[in-house]
Chains A and B, each alone.
Chain A
């Protein structure tokens, strides 16, 4: 299963990088969203996908899924949500201010150096 997941994660990263390299600010945000999904799945996969039970104590169960990566991913999900919300608003503000979402036009000029 990990083999398949590794490929899926690779595809997620590839799509994310492709979007991040584009010129539209919205595509870049979509790309970062995909990138965090890829990273979360990578964390989970690296912890091992074995384990027959969720990591909640229960009678007669010994084979739990690894709880530590799950805790790490939970933290990461919340942080990436915070950051996504922030850059979304940032994009909105910059679009409202500059009237463009073309990253090529947002490179400043020498006057402001």
Chain B
């Protein structure tokens, strides 16, 4: 079977969702939707055997072959891991949403359509081998995420959060497209596998670093890395199943996927390692530090997600060091990144579901109002406890294992010699340790402030009780995985992680079994990471117990100095600034616009003349001075001055007529009898027309034009006039080819049988001009009649005067 088509299965299924929702009102639509991720999950499990052997599967669907763009589903260890996460957690989330969303009150037809679109898009992102189709699916995740965040579209917060996430992720997406195009130019292909094969030739290419930064911008915005993380907390306005699925387990990991996928291309670069590891570490610290400040359960989880994504990102950066050093710890880093990615998806998914349950069963997510739910909601508490302890990195949960490996890798960076790491490397384990302390604090804060202690005196909006079984199934499954993975880490490692590591570092391994990592919970007393863990647990506990005393510290930072305020003011300033700018030059006055046009025409033409040194006057090409011509010229100039200086409209019209007759005289002098005739007649009619309209027209009026205005007009008019003269002189002096008129002169009698060459040209050689000139005249006539006779009033009332 051509399994690339499976990417589109969820979208196809989405077509039927509205139908099912309308026709089968008694059954929750989610049950039908559930079939899609479950069947996909089961199908994709079949690929584990292929990837465990170091193989891959490939399936292609041509899209635009002439441009080298196609849908290619390429399944290796890395994409299979993500695919299983997407379909597996997708199934659990759909199951959870069936109980979370009420089938009568909610617009389920919208919800599941968006969710299925998102599922297709995510599968496309992680399986695409073609960067252009990868970008297509990438933007589709942004759009479906936008729709899901704004699901409760009547709430202001939802719309704001949806817009913010859209602006930031689409900005990153566009940057990423730029990076992809540069990669395509460098490698002459859009296929990721071929790009990786060509990667050694990219080093030192002028686009290499630019492409690297652009691709990273895409990854950082999507994965909510500092300083682009600000959209993620606002995205918590989405329904909780969406937060659990998109904003913890899948979409935010698309950036991590991208970094992992492109590591074989970019890892040779110092910029890549510094950016990925550095930004990841900053994000880790920032997210964990600010998570303790939050009072909303989902906001705590959002910041914790940001922080954990930073952790994985920094591990991917450290893993890239394996391209430069044989130190086994850097090989461990990539393993740790992938392993923690799985762990994070399990415990964060379950924690979000618990937050949703607490919200659903108590009516609030505000941690200040919650407390003492342990005895009321024992199952939820157990799941939350397992998830939080895993997040904090304590045994016997899977987070402990990845945390240990993380500390090991960060410690190893100290010893890396290249790229100035000898100077700054010590910062990595220090920041990692501090961030881990805060991680522990917010994990405890999350679970114990909600479930332990006394119930608050103020009654909760809903009388709390344990959630229905259906709602608990998904978080319990995830929590089981959290504990299970702790006991069988090497099995997970063999099945999923090692094939993925091989995909990230294809140059280092030829078979997944060569990845030499054996996850162990116990390293012995002399291992430094053990003492780091012990010390951070101690410090973390002290900090948690004294939380009340130092939590006020967060109020020191004023609101207007936050990154959110920066984003808000950037949006405000760009909108207001653009508004001001366009109001500044769009005055609504026709004079202003004409000044722009005339000034630019004159300036650009004159500048071109002088820059290109095109201004040449060739006296020899001119015909001799004609006395009558000079006299007519004087008459014409005098008449023009009269038009300009006329005080009354009658004298202006007469002067204009004089100009026209002078032009007719020129036509006589320059041997153009037909022109002279036409000009005389037309000028007469024109003057007559002016006189006819005379009594209806306003008198000449300056309308309070100032001297300055007039001077400006004069300067621009002089500029245009001089430019025209210069262009005319140089154009006439530099004729490159002779006129084609000789042909007309030679053939007018033999071919057309006429003697008047001008007339034969008009009706015979170039008769089409004449045809449409007649059309212009008729249209003008009809328009004149229409304007005079058809007087539609402005308010739309038809008042025909001629009735």
Contacts and interface: CB of A to CB of B under 8 A. Distances in A.
B798 interface: no
B45 interface: no
Interface in B657-709: 659-660, 663, 666-667, 670-675, 678-679, 682, 685-686, 689-690, 693, 696-698, 700-703, 705
A6 B623 CA distance: 13
Interface string A17-33: 11111111111001001
Interface string B578-615: 00000000011111001100100000000000000000
Nearest to B701: A24
Interface in B629-675: 629-630, 633, 636-637, 640-641, 643-644, 649, 652-653, 656, 659-660, 663, 666-667, 670-675
Contacts of B756: 55-57
Nearest to A107: B588
A55 B589 contact: no
A22 B725 contact: no
A61 B564 CA distance: 86
Contact of A41 (B666, B682, B755, B787): B666
A75 B770 contact: yes
A16 B693 CA distance: 21
Given A2-B732, A6-B732, A44-B670, 4 more contacts: A15-B717, A17-B720, A65-B672, A101-B698
Nearest to B668: A54
Contacts of B784: 85-86, 89
A82 B698 contact: no
B787 A49 contact: no
Interface in A82-97: 82-86, 88-93, 95-97
A45 B598 CA distance: 23
Q: Which 3 A-B pairs have the closest CB atoms?
A: A14-B721, A10-B725, A82-B780
B744 interface: yes
B736 interface: no
A68 B722 contact: no
6 contacts: A15-B643, A24-B703, A27-B700, A46-B732, A50-B623, A71-B761
A30 B652 contact: yes
A51 B729 contact: no
Contacts of B714: 18
B161 to A, nearest CB: 31
Given A56-B756, A74-B758, A88-B690, A4 B630 contact: yes
Given A38-B724, A64-B757, A86-B783, A21 B675 contact: no
Given A34-B643, A55-B745, A56-B755, A75 B762 contact: yes
Nearest to A42: B728
A43 B779 CA distance: 25
Interface in B420-476: none
Nearest to A18: B717
B686 to A, nearest CB: 6
Nearest to A2: B622
B697 A95 contact: yes
B731 interface: yes
Contacts of B671: 51-55, 64-65
A108 interface: yes
A81 to B, nearest CB: 5
Given A37-B663, A56-B756, A92 B745 contact: no
Interface in B747-803: 748-749, 755-758, 761-762, 766, 769-770, 773, 776-777, 779-781, 783-784, 787-788, 794
Given A78-B682, A85-B780, A67 B745 contact: yes
Given A1-B624, A17-B720, A81-B685, A90 B787 contact: yes
Interface residues of A, number: 85
A74 B721 contact: no
A89 B761 CA distance: 32
Nearest to A99: B698
A70 B705 CA distance: 40
A40 B663 contact: yes
Q: Give the residue among A42, A45, A56, A108 with the most B Cβ atoms within 10 A.
A: A56
B392 to A, nearest CB: 58
Contact of B637 (A11, A20, A75, A101): A11
B626 interface: yes
Q: How large is the interface on B (under 10, 10 to 19, 20 to 34, 35 or more residues)?
A: 35 or more
B527 interface: no
B625 interface: yes
Contacts of A53: 671
A53 B783 CA distance: 40
Contacts of A12: 636, 640, 659, 721
A80 B588 CA distance: 27
Contacts of A34: 640, 643, 656, 659
A91 to B, nearest CB: 7
A17 B717 CA distance: 5
B625 A1 contact: yes
B643 A67 contact: no
Contacts of B745: 55, 64, 67
B541 interface: no
Contact of A65 (B670, B721, B731, B761): B670
Nearest to A47: B739
Contacts of B633: 4-5, 8
A33 B721 CA distance: 15
Interface string B410-421: 000000000000
A46 B748 CA distance: 23
A70 B656 contact: no
A51 to B, nearest CB: 6
A78 B652 CA distance: 22
Given A15-B717, A55-B757, A6 B725 contact: yes
Given A33-B656, A75-B762, A57 B757 contact: yes
B270 to A, nearest CB: 54
Which interface residue of B675, B728, B762 has the most chain A CB atoms within 10 A? Answer: B728
B649 A13 contact: no
A95 B698 contact: yes
Contact of A21 (B717, B741, B749): B717
Which has the most chain A C-beta neighbours within 10 Å: B598, B685, B690, B697?
Answer: B697
B716 interface: yes
B737 interface: no
Contacts of A33: 656, 659-660, 686
A59 B787 CA distance: 51
Contacts of B589: 103-104, 107
Contacts of B626: 1
Contacts of B720: 13-14, 17
B571 to A, nearest CB: 23
A72 B313 CA distance: 71
Given A79-B776, A103-B591, A89 B787 contact: yes
Contacts of B545: none
A109 B761 CA distance: 49
A21 B670 contact: no
Nearest to A15: B640
Contact of B674 (A18, A24, A41, A74): A74
B448 to A, nearest CB: 58
B792 to A, nearest CB: 11
B374 to A, nearest CB: 61
A17 B716 contact: yes
B630 to A, nearest CB: 7
Contacts of A24: 698, 700-703
Contacts of A92: 693, 696-697
B325 interface: no
B744 A67 contact: yes
B725 A70 contact: no
Contacts of B588: 107-108
B623 A1 contact: yes
Contacts of A75: 762, 769-770, 773
B67 interface: no
B124 to A, nearest CB: 42
A94 B70 CA distance: 59
B717 A14 contact: yes
